């Protein structure tokens, strides 16, 4: 028999998005350039006007607030604020002031991301994050944000620090489309340093803002690996991709990566943001790992992205962060790309159950942000995947409130998942 599942008082219920994926009309960064190359993006889509959120942010926030959300995660586009080296665009600073005012007006607690994959073209020309000496330009950008936006309540430094190095410098799926292990390592290291820079710059000017890292924590599914050797391999990759962040925040050094030993990274997160989507497993031939897949047990359901749905991984990840990181946790992204909104509703409920279980077992989770507030630009996958609580018609820019948005809004309003809802979806806590 199900009971209502209450969430802690003052729990933040929101949705997440990034600047580039929703704003539209961004023509001065590496992604814009990358999209113009035929074959790089699915269906040769280009981001263009995206959701035209740049012009519609106020009415979009009104929709989210009417859906009972009380927090919102968005981002700032670096190439708007610093369009050329050492040049600040004050009109764009004004624009983002209006964005944050609008969040406030709609009672949405602000979570703002400093860096979410895109870099200005001038920064790319200088070698981007590949060159350590370029970090001074990132510092300049952070300084401008810190000086100009004291109204932001929560800052996210770098969105998913491992993704740009991996997708841009190993798998070639993101700009600059390279494949070099050495470049990957350098960029990874510099992005971790950039996280430290953003943290210190913002705290120096706004000691009261809460600043934290947002890390995608894929769950490396272990069940298939009976053999000692395979287990070691999986845990090695888990260390490289996940564990190093805890070492970094706890000790300012990364044992697996001797290049990173910087005291200034110690303690640089007031909270830990978890992005969670899926579980992965390694494929082995003759004991040698040769690839990764999303497939899990036979009854696994898949998303439009081909990702296997595994809510338990979110629970496991929260419990791991609880053990390794001493501070509040926010689920800064969790969501599904699907054309079936019923599937989105189940996904949300199943993952919220996982969050609730972790809270019940002592995890200090203070908020949940569904990815994404609205359908948007899904990088190399273009516009095909539909992640949104709000559907977008890209021809007309019409917004369509999905049933999942209303269901999520009811949960947010009541600050609980009702027993009736669980029954309706045949779920047990």
Question: Closest CB to ligand IFM among 23 and 333?
Answer: 333
Residues between 186 and 245 that touch ligand IFM (CB under 6 A) = none
Q: Considering CB under 6 A, how many residues would be counted as binding ligand IFM?
A: 7
How far apart are the C-alpha atoms of 57 and 26, rounded to whole Å? 15
214's tokens: 């947002």
Which of 23, 35, 60, 160 is in the footprint of ligand IFM by CB under 6 A?
Answer: 160
Euclidean distance between CA atoms 236 and 253, whole angstroms: 17
The full DSSP string for 257-288 is -TT-B-GGGTT--SSEEEE---EEEEEEETTE
Query: Contacting ligand IFM (CB under 6 A), which of 278, 333, 364, 375?
Result: 333
Residue 358 beta carbon to ligand IFM: minimum distance, rounded to whole angstroms: 20
Any contact of residue 35 with ligand IFM (CB under 6 A)? no
Between 128 and 385, name the residue whose CB sits nearer to ligand IFM: 385
SS3 333: strand
End-to-end alpha carbon distance in the chain: 9
Q: Is the peptide bond before 372 cis (omega within 30 degrees of 0)?
A: yes
Q: How many whole angstroms separate alpha carbon 78 and alpha carbon 89?
A: 10
Contacts to ligand IFM from residues 263-292, by CB under 6 A: 275
The DSSP line for 199-244 is: HHHHHHH-TTSEEEEEEE--EE--TT--SHHHHHHHHHHHIIIIIH
Looking at 67, 373, 378, 386, which residue binds ligand IFM (CB under 6 A)?
378
Least separation in angstroms between residue 21's CB and ligand IFM is 6
| Interface pick for ligand IFM out of 12, 13, 15, 18 (rule CB under 6 A) | 18
**Pick 18 or 70: Cβ nearer ligand IFM:** 18
Query: Least distance to ligand IFM from the beta carbon of 333, Å?
Result: 5
The answer to whether 30 contacts ligand IFM (rule: CB under 6 A) is no
Shortest Cβ 22–ligand IFM spacing (Å):
10
Where do we find the tokens 């992204």?
A: 333
- Binding mask 292-331 toward ligand IFM (x if CB under 6 A, else -) reads ----------------------------------------
Q: What is the DSSP letter of 37?
A: S
Nearest to 15 by CA among 74, 58, 66, 97: 74
Q: Is the dihedral of CA 124, 130, 131, 137 positive or negative?
A: positive
The C-alpha atoms of residue 315 and residue 279 are separated, in whole angstroms, by: 12
Under the binding rule (CB under 6 A), the answer on residue 23 touching ligand IFM is no
Q: Which is closer to ligand IFM, CB of 60 or CB of 378?
A: 378
- Of the pair 75, 417, the CB lying nearest ligand IFM is at 75
Q: CA-to-CA distance for 377 and 386, rounded, in angstroms?
A: 9
In the complex, least distance from residue 275 CB atom to ligand IFM, rounded to whole angstroms: 5
Q: Which of residues 62-121 bind ligand IFM (CB under 6 A)?
A: none
> Cis before residue 227, ω within 30 degrees of 0?
no
* Closest to ligand IFM by CB, 60 or 357: 60
We find the least distance from the C-beta atom of residue 305 to ligand IFM, in angstroms, to be 7
Please report whether residue 375 would count as binding ligand IFM according to CB under 6 A: no
Binding residues for ligand IFM, rule: CB under 6 A, are 18, 21, 160, 275, 333, 371, 378
């Amino acid at each position: 028999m199900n009971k209502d599942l209450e969430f802690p008082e003052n729990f933040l219920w929101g949705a997440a998005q990034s600047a580039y994926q929703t704003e539209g009309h961004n023509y001065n960064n590496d992604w814009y350039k990358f999209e113009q190359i035929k074959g790089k993006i699915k269906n040769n889509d280009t981001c263009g006007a995206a959701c035209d959120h740049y012009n519609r942010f106020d009415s979009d926030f009104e929709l989210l607030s009417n859906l009972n959300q009380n927090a919102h995660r968005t981002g700032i586009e670096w190439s708007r604020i610093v369009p050329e080296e050492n040049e600040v665009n004050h009109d764009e600073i004004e624009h983002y002031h209006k964005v944050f005012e609008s969040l406030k007006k709609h009672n949405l607690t602000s979570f703002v991301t400093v860096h979410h994959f895109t870099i200005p073209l001038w920064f790319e020309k200088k070698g981007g994050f590949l060159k350590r000496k370029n970090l001074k330009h990132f510092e300049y950008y952070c300084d401008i944000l810190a000086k100009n936006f004291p109204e932001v309540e929560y800052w996210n430094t770098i969105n998913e620090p491992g993704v740009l190095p991996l997708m841009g410098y190993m798998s070639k799926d993101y700009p600059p489309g390279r494949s070099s292990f050495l470049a990957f390592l350098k960029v990874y290291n510099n992005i971790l340093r950039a996280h430290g820079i953003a943290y210190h710059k913002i705290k120096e000017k706004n000691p009261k803002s809460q600043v934290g890292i947002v890390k995608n924590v894929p769950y490396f599914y272990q069940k298939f690996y009976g053999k000692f050797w395979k287990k070691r391999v999986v845990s090695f990759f888990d260390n490289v991709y996940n564990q190093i962040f805890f070492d970094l925040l706890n000790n300012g050094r990364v044992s697996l990566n001797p290049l990173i030993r910087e005291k200034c990274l110690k303690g640089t997160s007031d909270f830990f943001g978890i992005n969670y989507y899926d579980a992965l497993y390694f494929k082995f031939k003759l004991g040698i790992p040769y690839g990764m897949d999303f497939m899990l047990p036979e009854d696994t359901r898949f998303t439009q992205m081909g990702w296997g749905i595994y809510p338990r991984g979110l629970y496991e990840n929260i419990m791991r962060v609880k053990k390794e990181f001493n501070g509040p946790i926010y689920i800064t992204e969790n969501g599904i790309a699907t054309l079936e909104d019923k599937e989105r509703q189940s996904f949300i409920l199943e993952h919220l159950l996982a969050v609730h279980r972790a809270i019940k077992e002592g995890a200090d989770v203070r908020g949940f942000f569904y990815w994404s507030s609205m359908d948007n630009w899904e990088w190399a996958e273009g516009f095909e995947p539909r992640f949104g609580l709000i559907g977008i018609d890209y021809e007309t820019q019409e917004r369509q409130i999905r049933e999942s948005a209303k269901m999520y809004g009811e949960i947010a309003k009541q600050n609980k998942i009702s027993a009736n809802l669980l029954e309706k979806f045949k779920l047990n806590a």
